Structure 1
């Protein structure tokens, strides 16, 4: 199962987690980033993106899976 938000970032599997996180932050609208009440949702979104990237990275590293 792949995350559509992660796919939309268009990053290669070799990208570092920091690069993925920076791309995810930029993908959000500035108004969304400014709302304090969305902080927990933003953190959840970032964790989800990083988890999807890690899954994709292990799938590329281990093609037998």
Structure 2
């Protein structure tokens, strides 16, 4: 099952990890990005988006034969 937050990014499977990270940063509200106390949570969110994208790419690369 794909993460709903990742699906809202609307990225193609061919997107680079850097593109995924940029989209994830833009998905957060500026006030959320500004709070220093949320730094660990933001990093966790970015890692989750990158992992979801990698899983989607891996699932897309698997042969169906």
Scaled by the length of structure 2, what TM-score is found?
Answer: 0.95
CA RMSD of aligned residues (A): 0.8
Q: CA deviation at 1:10?
A: 0.3
Q: CA deviation at 1:18?
A: 0.2
Q: Note the residue ranges of structure 1 that are not aligned, 5 or more in a row.
A: none
Q: Note the residue ranges of structure 2 that are not aligned, 5 or more in a row.
A: none
Corresponding residue for 1:28?
Answer: 28
* Structure 1 segments of 4+ aligned residues over 2 angstroms from their partners: none
Give the aligned length. Answer: 64
Q: d(CA) in 2 for partners of 1:49 and 1:25?
A: 10
Q: Does 1:40 align with 2:40?
A: yes
Scaled by the length of structure 1, what TM-score is found?
Answer: 0.95
Corresponding residue for 1:4?
Answer: 4
